[in-house]
Amino acid sequence: MRNYSMHDLVWKNRGHELDALAEKMLDTGTKWILIGNPKEKEEFIRRTQDRPPVLDAAGSVKEALDLVREAGRSVICLYKDRASYETCRDEFERAGIRENDRFFQGEVFQMVYDVYRYGRIKLDRVEIFMTSRCTLNCEKCVAYIPYFKDRVVTPLESLKQDIDLLFGKVDYVFKLKLLGGECFLHPDLIEYVDYIYEHYHEQIGSIRIGTNGTILPSDEIAAMCLRDEVTVDISDYSRAVPALNKLEAVREKLEAEGVRTDIKRTGEEWLDMGFPVVGSKLEDETRLRAHFEKCAMFCRQFADGRFFYCCSNCSAVKAGLYELKEDDYFDFRRDFDPKELLEYELGYSRLGHTSFCSVCQGGSDEANPYHVEIARQMCRGT
């Protein structure tokens, strides 16, 4: 998830950073107003059915402001898009309602509430790195696939150990995404996904497999996707690589088998993360923390017992291009309090950023002004 509302993310009192915030969120005397679009409100209520606070869904920001002023309510703002969230927050701040006092970011509220009230840790999204094998060689791939020093295929045993470790310590993952490279090229994909589904499907909102739309999945893969309730995310590179693109055929085959698909329209441009080509280095700690907070990276990656805050950081390590550093991951191989993991998920760490932020131009428009064309190829795919 993207945390827009919490700042100064250096660990000073690990395991207790959110105590004061949680006290406000759990105050049974508080009456709450929800602000967001109808879908976001519906999702919040669905995910928080056993939640005690009185919830009113205000129809507009103005209505919410009146309620806050007249009835002393507090606000849960559900906008996921950063600009909408910040516009709304600024309106309330002008009315004297301060962020993290009587105004809270919805996704942060949910996570904190679950951990402090129920001792349940629910992660928004976890990615699993399957393989560096790919049919394309995109110059600005966020996983640095063309730059891998050696081809990597994560062994089945290692994948199973990781998934056991993850779900042994986490109650729920809303979105579990398998990524590469190209997932359909992993030789044990079917056995692995069957294993995940058999053991953990009750702890997963949605299992997703990413593909670049250049490979028609086998009948066996399609059957597994149906059996294991997988959604296949197909990236649309039809304009970038028209000769290799099979998006429509992939979709038709999967949908004919009853498999859910989600076409990932990648917009007009990608962000150029800079690494490993640009080589610029940001060293000032204050600027690094600001860069990290602007980026507010949403994708975590789990590999080798380590929960990386940033999936690009994890890929750079897997590629052999960047050193593995203790400050850049949360170690699942040791015992920990769920409150520590909650803090890490929200961005807390020893540095207040990942060390990799110093060589990365950023993973969001707020942090990174450099754009490039989608899926530009370095050379012919292999």
Contacting residues toward ligand SF4, per CB under 6 A: 134, 136-138, 141, 143, 145, 180-182, 212, 291-292, 295, 297, 310, 312-313, 354, 356-357, 360, 362-363, 367, 375
Cα 118 to Cα 18, 51, 53, 347: the distances in Å are: 15, 10, 14, 21
Of 232 and 375, which has the nearer Cβ to ligand SF4? 375
Q: How far is the CB of 152 from ligand SF4 (least distance, A)?
A: 12
Of 163 and 360, which has the nearer Cβ to ligand SF4? 360
Q: How far is the CB of 139 from ligand SF4 (least distance, A)?
A: 9
119/104 Cα distance (integer angstroms): 20
Among 302, 23, 361, smallest CA distance to 154 is for 302
Of 193 and 319, which has the nearer Cβ to ligand SF4? 319
298 burial class (0-12, 13-18, 19+ CB within 10 angstroms)? middle
Of 182 and 272, which has the nearer Cβ to ligand SF4? 182
Q: How far is the CB of 234 from ligand SF4 (least distance, A)?
A: 11
Of 74 and 312, which has the nearer Cβ to ligand SF4? 312
Q: How far is the CB of 81 from ligand SF4 (least distance, A)?
A: 18
Among 226, 165, 176, smallest CA distance to 201 is for 176
Of 145 and 221, which has the nearer Cβ to ligand SF4? 145
207/228 Cα distance (integer angstroms): 8
Q: How far is the CB of 351 from ligand SF4 (least distance, A)?
A: 11
248/25 Cα distance (integer angstroms): 47
Cα 364 to Cα 81, 295, 306, 334: the distances in Å are: 12, 5, 24, 32
236/172 Cα distance (integer angstroms): 29
Q: How far is the CB of 291 from ligand SF4 (least distance, A)?
A: 6
Of 97 and 189, which has the nearer Cβ to ligand SF4? 189
155/355 Cα distance (integer angstroms): 27
Q: How far is the CB of 328 from ligand SF4 (least distance, A)?
A: 9
What are the beta bridge partners of residue 35?
Answer: 77
Residue type, 347: G
